[in-house]
């Protein structure tokens, strides 16, 4: 996969340096062709590649927007002048990004709806100084219903229950095709919602046995759950919040360490809520997220109501440490209303004309986005916000070959070798018989796209009207999560099914991911005792999130300080069970690793 980059300038300079065009050499002054001149050229390149957002021409910037100046290393901003056409000059403060690649100007008061804002500043980068400017219009933001997305009933029998962990009641997971030889190693990462089970991020092994579950309170859901890197270490990352009936999320993204402790939160900036569709951390500890925002707009020119409401799709790059917005892009102003395949609303109900649902930063100062309701993938130039190309839809830059078309798609990603993957929903309304994972080759020279590979489940007809993903795995394998449907399938490179399973009926998971994971909870194992009708004591034990447990060892004795091992049992599934020996007064359980070393011990309990 192409490497993520925090800014257009750092990507540009890194590429030019690697190619030998730029030189980070020492030296004082010299003639043309020396290190000093190369440094000067690097500075000019950095200055000319500066991205200022809201980008010029943005028609619906937030009244609470900051002005973001994103460049290369050492970018500094001064002499900022911000003037609203109705609100007049705005004072503010400059705050630097933790990456050292720019600064944001934070106005001291909001802008006014409908006004034009003009910005001028001086920016120094790479030894060169230039003037920077942008102008944008402030949105007339619209209030919409906050009613929650209705919950499907599902099957109450398809819920997991554990005596030792009564608060953990996620959806069941049933493996219909066990992992075959060649299946990628790791655990499955899901975030089930809908149905009668508790929503929340969930890890299961490839046998469908629970590894970890984090229950969320009523009215909260999770999405985009998986393993990413934060501060150079593996971390759990997901979105959580409310999914409202008009079709998007209001929440935040969270980052947990391998002891299941929160270590970072990512919130949308400029007065928006983080939407559920994307959270991508970069090696520079920035985050790419999306937001959806309803605004008032005259929709008469597309046969809608004149006083209409349109839901705009927004991309932000956030500096995780400071919370500053480093870059922002709006679909409105770049994607024409006529490109939408979603019928325009004839009422005050917000028209979701674009519905951006994935973000993948590229290696050339660009970012790839999937916009579901235009059937199009867009490659955006970070400096200008304009499209480098469009793939699919009614204004494609490429001619699509046989089998390469897609509809209502999700999860577009750059892949090695210049390829692009996408999950082709093909439905809502149906355009195909099956949802598919596609691997495409886009040839910019010939402006043509060919189908390299397609994956579709050979035993189930799965047509998912929303959500879903196509994940590239080691060894050429692929994992499809079907989103609106409870299914997931792993394929090898030839399309053979290596693993197949499903959540409970009507249960959804926006994506299904697979990754190795090693977790050791900060809390001890949980113990529960129950008594049979004949007075026997039964012991149940679990350790939510512990991945290294190979066996459980039961301890018994006359007091908590005098416990001794009485029996050991291999770990099978999430919860272990023992029958306590007759006469035992106190009981506890140790968790053992594969070598027999003690990983943790439960609190003792009186029999």
pLDDT digits (tens, 9 = 90+) for 313-372: 999 999 999 999 999 999 999 999 999 999 998 777 899 999 999 999 999 999 999 999
Take residue 605 and report the two structure tokens written for it.
């309990």
CA 554 to chain centre: 41
Q: Delimit the CATH 2.60.40.3780 region(s) of the chain.
A: 8-137
Strands 387-392 and 399-400: unpaired
Asked if the model's pLDDT at residue 593 lies above 90, the reply is yes
Q: Delimit the CATH 2.60.40.10 region(s) of the chain.
A: 526-606
Just give the CATH number of 8-137. Answer: 2.60.40.3780
pLDDT at 342: 96
**Nearest C-alpha neighbor of 607 from the set 527, 517, 506:** 527
Cβ(540)–Cβ(576) under 8 Å? yes
User: What pLDDT band is residue 48 in, cutting at 50, 70 and 90?
Assistant: low
pLDDT at 436: 98
- On the question of a cis peptide bond just before residue 429, with omega within 30 degrees of 0, the verdict is yes
173-515 fold: Neuraminidase (2.120.10)
Cβ(449)–Cβ(390) under 8 Å? no
In angstroms, the CA 226 to CA 516 distance is 10
- pLDDT tens per residue across span 61-115: 999 999 999 999 999 999 999 999 999 999 999 999 999 999 999 999 999 999 9
In angstroms, the CA 331 to CA 314 distance is 6
pLDDT at 152: 86
HSE of 164 in the Cβ direction (CA atoms, 13 Å)? 24
Q: What are phi and psi of 11, to 5 degrees?
A: -65, -45
Instruction: List, as one string, the DSSP characters of 271-333.
Output: TPPBPSS-EEE-TTSEEEEEEEEEEEE--GGGTS-SSEEEEEEEEEEEETTT--EEEEEESTT
Please list the residues that pair with 356 across neighbouring strands. Answer: 371
Asked if the model's pLDDT at residue 418 lies above 90, the reply is yes
In angstroms, the CA 563 to CA 561 distance is 6
Take residue 29 and report the two structure tokens written for it.
């002054």
526-606 fold: Immunoglobulin-like (2.60.40)
pTM of the predicted model as reported, rounded to 2 decimal places: 0.91
Q: What are phi and psi of 388, to 5 degrees?
A: -75, -40
User: What pLDDT band is residue 30 in, cutting at 50, 70 and 90?
Assistant: very low
Take residue 286 and report the two structure tokens written for it.
């920035």
User: How many residues are listed for the chain in this entry?
Assistant: 607
In angstroms, the CA 40 to CA 220 distance is 52
Q: Delimit the CATH 2.120.10.30 region(s) of the chain.
A: 173-515
In angstroms, the CA 509 to CA 487 distance is 9
In angstroms, the CA 282 to CA 288 distance is 8
Region 135-154: mean pLDDT is: 93
In this structure, the number of other CB atoms found within 10 A of the CB of residue 559 comes to: 10
């Amino acid at each position: 996969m192409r490497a993520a980059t925090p800014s257009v300038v750092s990507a540009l300079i890194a590429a030019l340096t690697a190619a030998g065009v730029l030189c980070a050499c020492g030296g004082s002054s010299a003639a043309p062709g020396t290190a000093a001149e190369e440094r000067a050229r690097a500075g000019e390149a950095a200055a000319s590649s500066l991205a200022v957002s809201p980008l010029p021409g943005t028609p619906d910037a937030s009244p609470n927007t900051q002005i973001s100046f994103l460049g290369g290393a050492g970018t500094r901003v001064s002499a900022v002048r911000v003037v609203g056409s109705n609100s007049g000059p705005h004072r503010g403060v400059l705050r630097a990004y933790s990456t050292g690649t720019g600064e944001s100007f934070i106005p001291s008061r909001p802008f006014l709806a409908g006004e034009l804002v003009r910005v001028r500043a001086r920016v120094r980068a790479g030894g060169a100084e230039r003037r920077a400017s942008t102008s944008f219009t402030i949105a007339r933001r619209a209030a919409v219903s906050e009613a929650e997305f209705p919950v499907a009933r599902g099957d109450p029998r398809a819920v997991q229950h554990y005596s030792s962990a009564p608060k953990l009641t996620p959806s069941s997971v049933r493996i219909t095709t066990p992992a075959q030889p060649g299946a990628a190693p790791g655990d499955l990462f899901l975030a089930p919602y809908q149905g009668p089970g508790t929503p929340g991020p969930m890890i299961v092994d490839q046998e469908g046995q629970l590894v970890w579950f984090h229950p969320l309170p009523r009215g909260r859901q999770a999405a985009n759950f998986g393993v990413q890197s934060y501060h150079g270490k593996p971390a759990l990352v997901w979105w959580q919040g409310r999914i409202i009936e008009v079709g998007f999320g209001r929440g935040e993204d969270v980052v947990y360490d391998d002891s299941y402790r929160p270590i970072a939160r990512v919130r949308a900036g400029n007065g928006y809520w983080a939407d559920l569709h994307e959270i991508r951390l970069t090696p520079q500890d920035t985050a790419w997220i999306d937001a959806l925002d309803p605004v008032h707009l005259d929709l008469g020119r597309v046969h809608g109501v004149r006083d209409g409401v349109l839901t705009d799709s927004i991309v932000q790059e956030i500096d995780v440490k400071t919370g500053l917005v480093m870059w922002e892009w709006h679909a409105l102003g770049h994607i024409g209303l006529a490109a939408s395949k979603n019928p325009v609303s004839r009422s005050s109900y917000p028209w979701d004309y674009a519905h951006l649902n994935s973000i993948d930063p590229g290696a050339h100062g660009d970012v790839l986005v999937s916009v579901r309701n235009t059937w199009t993938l867009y490659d955006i130039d970070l400096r200008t916000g304009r499209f480098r190309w469009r793939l699919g839809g009614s204004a494609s830059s490429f001619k699509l070959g046989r089998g390469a078309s897609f509809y209502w798609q999700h999860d577009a990603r750059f892949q090695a070798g210049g390829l692009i993957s996408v999950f082709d929903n093909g439905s809502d309304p149906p355009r195909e018989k099956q949802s598919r994972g596609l691997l495409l080759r886009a040839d910019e020279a010939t402006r043509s796209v060919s189908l390299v590979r397609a994956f579709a489940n050979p035993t189930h007809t799965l047509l998912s009207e929303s959500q879903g993903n196509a994940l590239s795995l080691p060894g050429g394998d692929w994992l499809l999560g079907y989103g609106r449907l409870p299914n997931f399938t792993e394929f090898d490179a030839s399309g053979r099914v290596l693993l197949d399973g499903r959540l409970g009926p009507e249960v959804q998971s926006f994506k299904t991911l697979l990754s190795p994971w090693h977790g050791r909870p900060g809390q001890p194992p949980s113990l529960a005792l129950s008594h049979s009708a004949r007075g026997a004591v039964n012991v149940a034990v679990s350790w939510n999130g512990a991945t290294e447990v190979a066996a459980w060892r039961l301890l018994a004795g006359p007091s908590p300080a005098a416990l001794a091992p009485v029996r050991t049992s291999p770990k099978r599934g999430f919860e272990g069970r023992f029958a306590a020996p007759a006469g035992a007064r106190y009981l506890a359980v140790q968790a053992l690793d594969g070598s027999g070393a003690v990983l943790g011990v439960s609190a003792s309990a009186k029999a």
